[in-house]
Chain A
Amino acid sequence: GEQVEQLPSILRVQEGSSASINCTYENSASNYFPWYKQEPGENPKLIIDIRSNMERKQTQGLIVLLDKKAKRFSLHITDTQPGDSAMYFCAANSNNRIFFGDGTQLVVKP
């Protein structure tokens, strides 16, 4: 079955509003959770990550939350801009194996 589930698959928001993407994972041994942004025609690039010894991390308009009990983590983009439009992938790493979610297409409407 799916190792990492990511929702929603498509997210449309108005410029200036916030956007949230949620992921769940199966393996309780997972201890590293990166988020990648992929723009059209480009390769994925890390935007923020969180390790299992943290519950919250924030950088430059991005917030990630980790709930280890629920095996759930999420990305929150505050004050979205058109440049935030892209594919976003969550991932979970355990036992030297990494599994990606299926991605979220974020569309920020001006």
Chain B
Amino acid sequence: ETAVFQTPNYHVTQVGNEVSFNCKQTLGHDTMYWYKQDSKKLLKIMFSYNNKQLIVNETVPRRFSPQSSDKAHLNLRIKSVEPEDSAVYLCASSPGGYAEQFFGPGTRLTVL
């Protein structure tokens, strides 16, 4: 099966903890993305990454960082979570910038 996979599905943690979310795509795409979708369903891009270039949304706090071992994997690390980080984090991939993005099922983060 070719798709975008994310783990975990859900994560509940305390303020100040570090969390890491995994994303893997088996579509052979060159570009991967991380989005944050809040409770109002607003969809905000956080990072886009391919083998050559990392593009960071300048509004993303520095405690967020992407981590990639190869073009099929793009993980997201949050160093010290805050309550406003509670959201669904969606990973996506695409063949390139001007093409359809395929989204994973998302990871729902709850920060207590």
Interface set of A (CB-CB < 8 Å, partner B): 31-32, 34, 38, 43-46, 49, 51, 87, 89, 93, 96-100, 102-103, 105
Which secondary structure characterizes the binding site on chain B?
loop
A100, B57: Cα distance in complex, Å:
13
Residue-wise interface mask of B (18-40) relative to A, using a CB-CB cutoff of 8 A (1 in contact, 0 not): 00000000000000010000000
> Nearest chain A CB to B28's CB is how many angstroms away?
17
5 sampled A-B residue pairs with Cβ under 8 A: A32-B97, A44-B43, A93-B98, A96-B97, A100-B43
Q: Which residue of B41, B55, B101 contacts A87 across the interface (Cβ within 8 Å)?
A: B41
By a CB distance below 8 angstroms, the chain A residues around B55 are: 96-97
B42 CB within 8 Å of chain A = yes
In the bound complex, do residue B48 and residue A43 qualify as a contact, i.e. CB atoms below 8 Å apart?
no
Number of interface residues of B (CB under 8 A): 19
By a CB distance below 8 angstroms, the chain A residues around B33 are: 98
Interface set of B (CB-CB < 8 Å, partner A): 33, 41-45, 48, 53, 55, 90, 97-101, 103-106
Say whether, besides A31-B98, A32-B98, A97-B55, A38 and B48 are in contact (CB < 8 Å): no
A89, B33: Cα distance in complex, Å:
16
By a CB distance below 8 angstroms, the chain A residues around B41 are: 38, 87, 103, 105
> Nearest chain A CB to B10's CB is how many angstroms away?
13
Say whether, besides A43-B90, A43-B104, A44-B103, A98 and B97 are in contact (CB < 8 Å): yes
In the bound complex, do residue A43 and residue B42 qualify as a contact, i.e. CB atoms below 8 Å apart?
no
